[in-house]
């Protein structure tokens, strides 16, 4: 489970039946959240890259 102080208490989770699949993973987005990993200029990064975590509620536009 992962959360950050600027967001809700939790933004992602790993289902119990998948705990051993990806060690070190923060898991899947919680319901109604969209998560992106972006570079210093806000461009979305491909899987496996290191960057800043950005999240938004699905009902809102991406304005980050």
Cα 48 vs. chain centroid, distance in angstroms? 13
Tell me the mean pLDDT in the region 48-61: 79
Q: What pLDDT score was predicted for residue 43? A: 96
Question: Coil, strand, or helix at residue 17?
Answer: helix
pLDDT digits (tens, 9 = 90+) for 1-10: 455 556 556 7
Q: What pLDDT score was predicted for residue 41? A: 95
pTM of the model: 0.62
- In the chain, the percentage of residues whose pLDDT exceeds 70 is 75
Burial of 17 (0-12, 13-18, 19+ CB in 10 A): exposed
Do 35 and 29 contact (CB within 8 A), yes or no? yes
Average model confidence (pLDDT) for the chain? Answer: 79
């Amino acid at each position: 489970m992962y959360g950050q102080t600027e967001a809700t208490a939790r933004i992602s989770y790993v289902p119990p039946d998948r705990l051993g699949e990806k060690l070190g993973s923060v898991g899947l987005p919680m319901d109604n959240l969209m998560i992106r990993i972006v570079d210093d200029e806000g461009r979305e990064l491909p899987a496996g890259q290191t960057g800043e975590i950005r999240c938004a509620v699905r009902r809102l536009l991406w304005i980050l």
